[in-house]
Amino acid sequence: MARGTALLGSKFAIMCGAMSWVSERNLVSAISNAGGFGVIACGAMTPALLDAEIAATKKLTDRPFGVNLITMHPALFDHIAVCATHGVSHIVLAGGLPPAGSVEAIKSSGKSSGAKLICFAPTLTMARRLVRHGVDALIIEGTEAGGHIGPVSTSVLAQEILPHMAAEVPIFVAGGIGRGEVIAAYLEMGAAGVQLGTRFVCATESIAHPNFKRAFIRAAARDAVASVQIDPRLPVIPVRALKNAGTEAFTAKQREVAQRLDDGLIDMMAAQIEIESYWAGALRRAVIDGDVEHGSLMAGQSVGMVVDEQPAAQIIATLAREAEDALTAR
């Protein structure tokens, strides 16, 4: 874990996944203050909103934290410029290969040495390409995770990527992590740290609606299911969430959009944007408004290990103790 803490500048190499509407100033600062590494979820924020969020987070913590940016966002370079203005030390890019010029822009942003760049690698091939692009660290996230997911499990990705890449750059493992013992196992395989999202949703400092938190506490692992793609023309990235009426509504939404596509009422780009926009609105309804029946309850399969609401510091201390105990027992 020393490689991870050296890269992040935190006491523990435990990152909090960037969760839209959840990973904002309060949770991010609490995690960083507790020795972990908080990451602001930029999501669909405008540059102005991101500017305000970073400024507010800096007022709550003097510890390092990162900002998650989306590669396909039309304002990506504006977001990078906002991060540079605030001297953000770490940028996490999600959504595929960084577009041309973005790596250079990030490396020249932040402090005098530039911001550290961390990217998601869903395959060994992608991991190698990202390292050639000059990224400083990788996150490998399995299908057990919440929100948008890939097709391969965390344990398989770890076995495929860590033996080949861990010596080149620090690698953080994510997806399905709920206890410190599994953190210890991935560290022994060569990981530099881990990333958790679902475990922090019910942190005391999380602004998620009480209804949202109760749904997590009551849920079992099998309740977190992946969405189904109805039409192959609509390349919907699967989303893992607790099954509810909103899950069924998304299936119906896909059918509706596909029909309008058939009828020539919308083009392919508009159809894809409408599908993605559905998730953004549905997630807000659940997280902020507390509509746990019709909103999106994005959660990883580790949700079954979320049993109560705890301060972020207690969650991190528990994970660290469990990991240390497991390593000592070896």
Sequential pLDDT tens for the chain (330 residues): 999 999 999 999 999 999 999 999 999 999 999 999 999 999 879 999 999 999 999 999 999 999 999 998 889 999 999 999 999 999 999 988 999 999 999 988 655 457 999 999 999 999 999 999 999 999 999 999 999 898 899 999 999 999 999 999 999 999 999 999 999 999 999 999 999 999 999 999 999 999 999 999 999 999 999 988 877 777 667 889 999 998 888 888 888 988 998 899 988 878 877 887 888 889 999 999 999 999 999 999 999 999 999 999 999 999 999 999 999 998
d(CA 138, CA 161): 10
3-state secondary structure of 93: strand
Residue 306 contacts residue 177 (beta carbons within 8 Å):
no
**CATH no. of 2-206+308-329:** 3.20.20.70
What's the angle, vertex CA 136, arms to CA 159 and CA 92, rounded to 5?
90
Cα–Cα–Cα angle for 32, 35, 38, rounded to 5 degrees:
30
Q: For residue 228, which of 219, 237, 220 has the smallest C-alpha distance?
A: 237
Sign of the dihedral through C-alpha 83, 84, 88, 90 = positive
* Residue labelled with tokens 């507790």: 34
Q: Do residues 177 and 183 lie in contact, with contact meaning Cβ atoms separated by under 8 Å? A: yes
Alpha helices in the chain (DSSP H): 2-8, 25-33, 47-60, 76-85, 102-107, 124-133, 154-165, 180-188, 198-201, 210-218, 245-262, 268-287, 312-329
Q: What is each CA distance from 75 to 42, 46, 71, 95, in whole angstroms?
A: 11, 8, 9, 14
Q: Which amino acid appears at position 240 of this protein?
A: R
- Inter-residue contact 104 to 98 (CB < 8 Å): no
Pairing of the two strands 224-226 and 137-141: unpaired
Domain boundaries, the chain: 2-206+308-329, 220-298
Q: Which residue has the tokens 């100033």?
A: 25
d(CA 66, CA 296): 25
Q: Which two tokens stand for residue 191?
A: 């990981």
Sequence-distant (≥ 6) Cβ neighbours of residue 49 within 8 angstroms? none
Contacts of 82 (CB under 8 A, 6+ apart): 47, 50, 51, 54
As beta bridge partners, residue 240 has 147, 226
Report d(CA 13, CA 91) in Å as an integer: 15
Quote the tokens at residue 312.
Answer: 């972020």
Structure tokens at 105: 């822009």
Q: How much is the pTM? A: 0.94
Backbone φ, ψ for residue 94 (5° rounding): -125, 155
Q: What DSSP element (H or E) covers 298?
A: strand 297-298
7's CB contacts (< 8 A; 6+ apart) are 13, 116, 136, 137, 170, 192
